[in-house]
Structure 1
Amino acid sequence: MPKRVDVAARRSEILDAAVRVFARKGFAASRIEDVAAEAGVAKGSVYLAVSSREELLTAAFDQYRARARAQLALPSTGSALDRLGALIRAAVAMLAAHPDHARVLLDVWAARSPIDMAAVYADYRAAIAELLREARDDGHLRAGIGPEHAAVIVGAIEGCLVQWLADDRVRLVDLTEPLVAVCVDGIRR
């Protein structure tokens, strides 16, 4: 009797293996064979899960994007600035918990890929801009703070991420509270 394979679980294992390989070797240098070896499956099993290396990258990135979207669905209790602080803490914790996904992001930024990074950033900017609008309406923001500051806050998080990935002396989790101090307390009235 043939062995039954949980297709969804196998696909998830392959995607996780792909992220590890892409993080270690870079997307351009990675091959389907590398992903198969990392996942402990035959090359054909990878092709049963995805049709190409680009689709593998897209599917792996979709996992990351789902995690990122979950961070945006934080509870709506507390002031807007308290929720902004919680969002920053959650984003940093998510990135720190998945360093291979973060490394793959660097590769995605550097190369032309099928990944729509602009959409991910737009989601974060929109969520942060809404919190800033609410904080302004509640009278909690310093004068001159507007929706354009959402891009600055996202940039601060991403800048810390890049430093963490580039320099192993930098610990991303240690930057969480300084990020909150600058990006939340720094704009508070």
Structure 2
Amino acid sequence: MPKRVDVHARRTEILDAAVRVFARKGFAASRIEDVAAEAGVAKGSVYLAVSSREELLTAAFDQYRARAREQLAISGAGSALDRLAALIRATVTMLAAHPDHARVLLDVWAARTPIDMATVYAEYRAAIAELLREAGADGQLRAGIGPGHAAVIVGAIEGCLVQWLADDQVRLADLAEPLVQICVDGVRR
């Protein structure tokens, strides 16, 4: 009797292997054969899951994007600034827990890929801008804070991420509270 393969589970294994390979070798230097070897499957099995290396990158990024959207969906309790602090902490925790996905982001930023990073950033900025708008309406913000500050907050998180990836002395998880102090307490009235 032929062995039954859970197609969804196999695809997940292949995507996880692709993330590890892309993180270790970089997208440009990675081959489908590398991903197959990492996943412990034949090259043809990879092609049953995806049609190309670019589709592997896109699918791996989609895993990251789903995690990012989960963070944005966390409503939490408390004031808008309390929820912003919780969002920053949750985002840093999620990124620190998935360093290979974070490393693949560098390739996404640097390479010409079909991945729409602008939409991901727009979603984060919109969520943060809404929290800032609520905080302003509640009188929690100091003068001059507006929607443009959402891009600065996203940039602060991304900047810490890049430093963590580039410098073994930087621990991303340790930067959650300093980020909250600068990005939340720094806008508080």
Alignment coverage as a number of residue pairs = 189
Per the alignment, residue 151 of structure 1 pairs with 151
Structure 2 unmatched ranges of 5 or more: none
8 Å CA contact 2:76, 2:86 repeated in 1: no
Q: Give the superposed CA RMSD.
A: 0.5
1:61 corresponds to which letter in structure 2? F
User: d(CA) in 2 for partners of 1:165 and 1:58?
Assistant: 21
TM-score by length of 2: 0.99
* Superimposed CA distance per residue, residues 76-122 of structure 1 (whole angstroms, 9 cap, x where no aligned partner): 42100000000000000000000000000011101101111111000
Per the alignment, residue 18 of structure 2 pairs with 18
* Greater displacement, 70-79 / 37-46: 70-79
Per the alignment, residue 73 of structure 1 pairs with 73
User: d(CA) in 2 for partners of 1:146 and 1:46?
Assistant: 47
* Superimposed CA distance per residue, residues 106-156 of structure 1 (whole angstroms, 9 cap, x where no aligned partner): 111011011111110000000000000000000000100000000000000
Whether 1:30 aligns to 2:30 is yes
User: d(CA) in 1 for partners of 2:76 and 2:86?
Assistant: 11
Per the alignment, residue 52 of structure 2 pairs with 52
Superposition pairs of residues 54-133 of structure 1, within 5 angstroms? 54-133=54-133
SS at match of 1:184: helix
Per the alignment, residue 175 of structure 2 pairs with 175
Residue identity over aligned pairs, in percent, reads 88
8 Å CA contact 2:145, 2:187 repeated in 1: yes
User: d(CA) in 1 for partners of 2:18 and 2:48?
Assistant: 14
8 Å CA contact 2:141, 2:187 repeated in 1: yes
TM-score by length of 1: 0.99
User: d(CA) in 1 for partners of 2:27 and 2:7?
Assistant: 24
SS at match of 2:186: helix
Consecutive aligned runs of 4 or more in structure 1 exceeding 6 Å deviation: none
User: d(CA) in 1 for partners of 2:45 and 2:97?
Assistant: 28
